Amino acid sequence: MTQREEAASAQTASPSSPQPWGKRLGVFLLHEQEARSVRWFEVLFTLTFLLNMGRCLLGWPEWLTADGFHLNTLETRWLGYPPPMPLMTAGWQVLVFAGLIFSGGWMFILGKWRRLALLLLWSCAVYAQQVDVLSSHSLNKLYIAIYTLLLLGPGMWRDPTSGRLMQSVAMLRVLQASLILIYLAAGLVKVEGAWISNPDVLWSQVQGLYRTEMTAWLLNLLPHGAWSAMQHFALAFELLAPLLFTVGRLRVFTLLFGLTFHLTIALLMKDLIYFSLQMAAFYALFIKKDEWLCFEHWLSRCVRRLTEEIGG
């Protein structure tokens, strides 16, 4: 075989030859790609933050002023928390705080002054956490963690040739891993809490503080074993999250099951709708950019049709 034939043979064989695992890992974690999935996550996640903050602001006297119960510095130190933030003493301070929350949120949703908007959202989330640590729960801690990641992580930019919004895929992978680890950690805690050995854990929990009217109706309607089945399905979903969210062929099933899982939580457990919406926002990260593009085109057509009908 001549040298020219050998070169042609090498060029033919090279596309099918496997790449080194290090190079494949680098592409998986570090290459630049269109940021459509992350951008949709940012919008949906921030909408849940604004919804949750709006709910809290409805009870602002108890939440932000001395009219409500708050731990003092000694009590927070004893519980292992940082010192509390100063309470607000006037209504105009609450208005400023609310203005910062919603102005930062809408700037971020609209993609304006991204870093400034993230800094405002992060600061408001930290203040909400520290001013009333008992009512903030893990819901607000996750907002702080995610906004910290977005603030410190790689930014987004427009590709000069295509105009597409681009970002390092590292941010997408970190956010996807965050959801998987949240599920796995929740499942491991449930295992320690006797969710395997005791089939009545869920049945007993929904009859207490978290019971809704629908839960009360279903407790009378469903057989006792149905609650045990839901308990074990939920536990299996959380423990198997690393597998379910990483195997491509299971993606559609996983997304549908997960959204149903959180819809059930929202309907059957009082006030956990905000947690369910927060978790559901992460599912945007597992929807492909082409699927988001199709959804955007469909949404644009619907808005255009609605505008034409209103305009007469």
Could you give the CA distance from residue 233 to residue 243 in angstroms, rounded to a whole number? 15
User: Which pLDDT does position 275 carry in this prediction?
Assistant: 92
In the chain, the percentage of residues whose pLDDT exceeds 70 is: 90
User: Position of tokens 């457990």?
Assistant: 269
What are the φ/ψ torsions at residue 95 (nearest 5 degrees)? Answer: -65, -40
Q: Is 233 buried (19+), middle (13-18) or exposed (0-12) by CB count in 10 A?
A: middle
Could you give the CA distance from residue 287 to residue 172 in angstroms, rounded to a whole number? 11
Mean pLDDT of the region 41-60: 93
Cα diameter, the chain = 90
**Least confident among 5-9, 259-263, 268-272:** 5-9
* Reduced 3-state DSSP string for 129-179: HHHCHHHHHHHHHHHHHHHHHHHHCCCCEECCCCCCEEEEHHHHHHHHHHH
268-293, pLDDT tens digit by residue?
988 889 999 999 999 999 998 888 88
Per-residue pLDDT at 188 exceeds 70:
yes
In which band, very low, low, confident or very high, does the pLDDT at 312 lie, cut at 50, 70 and 90? low
**Contact, 149 vs 174, CB < 8 A?**
yes
Per-residue pLDDT at 6 exceeds 50:
no
Q: Hey, what are 3's tokens? A: 């040298």
The pLDDT mean for the chain works out to 85
User: Which pLDDT does position 163 carry in this prediction?
Assistant: 78
Mean pLDDT of the region 123-147: 87
User: Which pLDDT does position 148 carry in this prediction?
Assistant: 95
Q: Hey, what are 270's tokens? A: 């009082």
Per-residue pLDDT at 230 exceeds 50:
yes
Per-residue pLDDT at 5 exceeds 60:
no
Domain range list for the chain:
33-167, 190-312
Per-residue pLDDT at 62 exceeds 60:
yes
18-49, pLDDT tens digit by residue?
666 565 555 556 677 878 899 999 999 999 99
User: Which pLDDT does position 142 carry in this prediction?
Assistant: 93
CA quadruple 244, 248, 249, 255: dihedral sign: positive
Q: Is 267 buried (19+), middle (13-18) or exposed (0-12) by CB count in 10 A?
A: middle
Per-residue pLDDT at 184 exceeds 70:
yes
Per-residue pLDDT at 154 exceeds 90:
no
**Contact, 63 vs 132, CB < 8 A?**
yes
Mean pLDDT of the region 104-133: 91
Could you give the CA distance from residue 245 to residue 45 in angstroms, rounded to a whole number? 19
Mean pLDDT of the region 306-310: 81
**Least confident among 78-87, 119-128, 271-280:** 78-87
In which band, very low, low, confident or very high, does the pLDDT at 124 lie, cut at 50, 70 and 90? very high
DSSP characters for 255-291?
HHHHHHHHHHHHHHBTTTHHHHHHHHHGGGGGS-HHH
Per-residue pLDDT at 11 exceeds 70:
no
Per-residue pLDDT at 106 exceeds 90:
yes
User: Which pLDDT does position 13 carry in this prediction?
Assistant: 44
Per-residue pLDDT at 145 exceeds 90:
yes
What are the φ/ψ torsions at residue 92 (nearest 5 degrees)? Answer: -65, -30
User: Which pLDDT does position 107 carry in this prediction?
Assistant: 94
Closest CA to 101 of 36, 57, 167: 57
